[in-house]
Every structure is written in C-alpha cells, then in structure tokens.
Structure 1
Amino acid sequence: MKKALLALPLLLAGAITSASAQVEIGLKVSPSISTLRVDSPASLGFTSDGSKLGIGGGLVVDYFFGQNYAFSTGLQLTSKGGKIAYIDQTAPGNANLVTRTQKISLQYVEIPVTVKLFTNDIATDTKLYFQVGGSVNAAVAGRINGSKFYTDPATGSEMKASKHFIIPDAALLGGLGVEYQLGQSTKVFGGLSYHRGLFNIERYFDKERTNMQGVTLKNNEVALDLGLKF
C-alpha cells in the first residue's frame, strides 16, 4: 500500500507531462491578399474591382490526439476586404447614373476550428501538414476609402463605415505547409491557407437604399502563414 501511495505522485507527474506534450502553442504572422465575392441584380452592376493587401496574426494552439493528427485552433486578428464598383445615382433625386467604387477594409477577430494532418518526416525533422476546417469570425473595425466614416454621395447621408457590414462571419479554411523541428520543443512552420467566407456581410444597401436590393458581398482571402511553436 505504501509503495502504491509513493508511486502515485510519480504516475500523476507522468500523466501531466504526457498530457502537456500533446499541446503545442505558438505565434504566427500572416500577410494576405483578400477580395470580395460580389453578386447583385444586373442593373446595379456590382463587381469585384480589386484586391487588398493585409497582415494578421495571433495565437496558434495545436492539440494532438494522435501522432500525426491535431485539432488546431487559436485566436487571431485578420485583415480582409477588397475593392468593389457599382452603378448609382449621381446625386440625391437625380436619375443620371455613374459608376462608383469603394475600397473596403475590415478587421476580424478569428477563431479557427480545424484539423491538421501531418506526414511522417519527408526530410530530417521536417514534415508536411494539411489543414482543413473552418473559422468563426467577428468584425471589430471597418473603413471605406480609408476612413472610419462614409458619406453616401447619392443620398448625402453619413454613417460609420463599420455599420455598412454585419459583425459575424464564418469561413471554410484549407491549407498546407511545412513544419521543421528546431529543438526539443521548438518548431517553425510556413504555409499557405485559403479562407472562403460564407456569410453575406453587406447590410447597408438592403437597409438604407431601397432601390439597391439584393447585393451580396462575401470575403475571400489567401494568406501566407509563418509561425513559431514553443
């Protein structure tokens, strides 16, 4: 009995060490190119008119439930958006039409919900990984044409740029990369990921412009993921 009691702390210590070894925590930075997928009635002429460069990053947490399988999540700040063009009135009450553009910049807090699949070593201490899943996102800031406020030239009304868009978003996420072990517990990784937005984030035209119903804007992002795990 005494031997069993003496062995218990050692067993608990071993279990804690084993459990902690299954979790890898790190930081990453992600330069990205984002665009907006646009849809609208043909008469409104909404189109995607350019991309946006951004940078994000944050915390990465990989929980391994097998030697080469991990649940990957974290907490990250990302930059998304793009440039759109559309056909609109030239001024309040004027039936003449003009093409307008908006450069949209949005910041999101993002929580990935993904699985990472690792290969065996393809070279010394080097593995490939594949990442699949999604993310839950919340918009925390927004700008149109570089400003936090936007005055609609067709109506003269001004409101916060962030009010043009809904707060929640979700995305499908797919990626691949390479991970290299530097030491006993230190790893570096680099890869590419694609984030395909699922929600229509636009709310201004449907709510404030009754003559511009049916506009859909969805996020698209390709990111270069560079990070270090401890």
Structure 2
Amino acid sequence: MKNALLVLLFSGATLGAASAQVEIGLKISPSVTNLRAATPSGDDLKAENSKLSLGGGIIVDYFFGQNYAFSTGLELVGRGGNVSYFDQRNQKRYEQKISLQYLQVPLTVKLFTNDVATDTKVYFQLGGALGGTIAGRINGDKYYNDPLPPSARTKAIKHVIVPDVNLRLGTGIEYQLGQSTKMVAGVSYHRGLLNVDKYFADTRGIKDAELKNSEFALDLGIKF
C-alpha cells in the first residue's frame, strides 16, 4: 500500500512537471511617459510635457494551463516628464525636465485566446511591477543646481524616493514562427501608485505635493 502511494505521488509530480511549460524571451519597449502632478491648490505643481523613453528586458512566462501563464522577468525602463512649479516668494514659475531610470520585476498574469488566425494568439495581461530607481537626471544633468534658496547642488536621483509600484494593463499578439520561437507585439499601460516626490514638498515647501509615474509602452519581443 505504501509503495503504491509513493508511485502515485511520484507519477503526479512527474505529470505536473511535464505539463508545466516555461518560455523565455527578450523584449524592447519604446514608450511615452509622464509624471502625474497634483497639489491641493491645483497650480503650485503642474504636469507639463511627456517624454519619449526606451526600455527592455527579459520575459519569463510560466504556463500553468494551456492558455494561462504567470509572467515575470526583469526590466530596465525609463520614466519621467516635464513639470512646473510656482514659487510664491518671487511670483515666478519654474520648469524641470525629470528623467528617471528604474529596474523592476513584473508580476502579472497573461490570458491567451485560442488561435485567431494561423499560429496567432491574442493575449491580455494584468498585474503590476515592483521596482526601484537606479539613475536620474534633471534638465539633462545628474546634478541639479537649485535656482532658489538655499541654492544647493544636489543629486537628481535624490529628488525622488527609490521604490515604485505600478499597475499594468496590456494586450497584444503572439505569432508562432517555429517549434519554440514566437514573435510578440503588444501595447501596455503602466500606472504608478506611489508618490515619488522628495523635492517639491521638502525643499520648495509645496504642501502635499504629489508626483506619480505613468507610461504607455509598445512591447516588441521574441520568445525562444
């Protein structure tokens, strides 16, 4: 009886491992990013222009069903945008072009349709990502020379908090090129959940200043 139970458990584990499928690939993601700015007054801190960014990374899709996969990996992404703030003391508005670089791990689920055309499936992606800032620039420089008192020279990356959490919604298609090679093309929206500001509230005294990341990306990749 004990031997039969061991055989049954071993068979179940073997079948489970055999049914699991992992697909690994690479992607590149040109994107349009901006910073959602907000203050209680609505005018002290404002979002201005978006910026073009480029990201990419590794795709890891772990299938737990024929049309269902847990999708993760490692991504290097660019974010940021232009914002302006109003200084009450001299009644003047200043603008900053903020460029940020993040390293992040996506934690999402992908849902696939059956073939909608020959060797072609549509997918829908939902989840989020956890990441952190690894580099930053303001007005193209790694250091920021503050035009207002205390007129300090500070590292641009110190103007934002390190962690970031975002939600991700995406859709696209996968096209089977060969036995294990697939081309991926899709679009995704990434909405930052954390207020990343450490400068406008602390240094400029803008009460309840809020900056959050947003990104629209074109996802192009290949899985092996």
Fold agreement, TM-score > 0.5:
yes
- The answer (yes or no) to whether the contact 1:28–1:226 under 8 Å persists in 2 is yes
Query: Per the alignment, in what secondary structure is the counterpart of residue 200 of structure 2?
Result: helix
- The answer (yes or no) to whether the contact 1:150–1:161 under 8 Å persists in 2 is yes
Gaps of 5+ in 2: 1-6
Instruction: Verify: 1:32 aligned to 2:31, yes or no.
Output: yes
Say how many residue pairs are matched: 214
Instruction: Verify: 1:212 aligned to 2:189, yes or no.
Output: no
- The answer (yes or no) to whether the contact 2:20–2:64 under 8 Å persists in 1 is no
**Alignment correspondent of 1:181:** 176
What letter is aligned with 2:51?
A: K
Instruction: Verify: 1:109 aligned to 2:103, yes or no.
Output: yes
Q: CA deviation at 1:43?
A: 7.2
Deviations 1:139-197 (A, max 9, x none): 00000000000011111111000000000000000000000000000001100000000
After TM superposition, list the pairs within 5 Å mapping 1:107-146 onto structure 2: 107-146=101-140
**Alignment correspondent of 2:165:** 170
Query: Per the alignment, in what secondary structure is the counterpart of residue 42 of structure 1?
Result: coil
What letter is aligned with 1:174?
A: L
Query: Per the alignment, in what secondary structure is the counterpart of residue 207 of structure 1?
Result: coil
- The answer (yes or no) to whether the contact 2:160–2:197 under 8 Å persists in 1 is yes
Structure 2 CA distance, aligned partners of 1:43 and 1:177? Answer: 36
After TM superposition, list the pairs within 5 Å mapping 1:28-177 onto structure 2: 28-42=27-41, 45-88=44-87, 95-155=89-149, 156-177=151-172
Q: Which has the higher helix share?
A: 1
Query: Residues 208 and 143 of structure 1: is their aligned pair in 2 closer, same or farther, counting only changes over 3 Å?
Result: same
Structure 1 runs of 4+ with >2 Å offset:
15-21, 205-209
Structure 2 CA distance, aligned partners of 1:51 and 1:228? Answer: 28
Query: Residues 120 and 161 of structure 1: is their aligned pair in 2 closer, same or farther, counting only changes over 3 Å?
Result: same
